[in-house]
Structure 1
């Protein structure tokens, strides 16, 4: 349900004689009940849920840092390999192979 539909339903309720404060309280209570049910279904309704979420966020941050470091390391190795190939190519092109024998 989006906010526009909720506003229309509340306007309809007021037009039919309902008190706006009562309608707002009903909407707020319904939202809290829905959020509570969703958290319960996800297993996040207990007292340690906040700590669990903080740990998960920390773990996710560590994973992202490790992934970034791994990508940077691979990129570094690729650049080094390309530079080594360029150096070997230059050595062959300039005839340094013959001088080493």
Structure 2
């Protein structure tokens, strides 16, 4: 997409005094041109871009799931260790070691 339509609209706006419709058309064309240029600079202007973006979103979702799983597992281990320490402390307090001898 080139800026030919945008240039034509700008000329029309300058020549006619730019009514609201022309200004809206200029803004729309400028936005589309800028978006096309941005996508081209990112390398997302080809036919495979939609598939690439879907794969990136899937990868990001998997990363978030893995991160969440790691935090859950770490929290579970902390709770288990705290429980074991609590049970060990209670056993020592109530003389469990004397019962074993």
Report the TM-score range of the alignment, normalised by the length of the smaller protein. Answer: 0.7 to 0.9
Runs (5+) with no aligned partner, structure 1: 1-12
Equivalent residue, structure 1, for 2:91 = 91
TM-score by length of 2: 0.79
Equivalent residue, structure 1, for 2:26 = 26
Q: CA deviation at 1:23?
A: 2.1
Q: Which protein has greater RCO, CA pairs closer than 8 Å, 6+ apart? A: 2
TM-score by length of 1: 0.79
Measure, in 2, the Cα distance between the counterparts of 1:84 and 1:46: 58
Equivalent residue, structure 2, for 1:17 = 17
* Runs of 4+ displaced beyond 3 Å: none
Equivalent residue, structure 1, for 2:38 = 38
Runs (5+) with no aligned partner, structure 2: 1-12
Q: CA deviation at 1:83?
A: 0.3
Q: How many aligned residue pairs are there?
A: 88
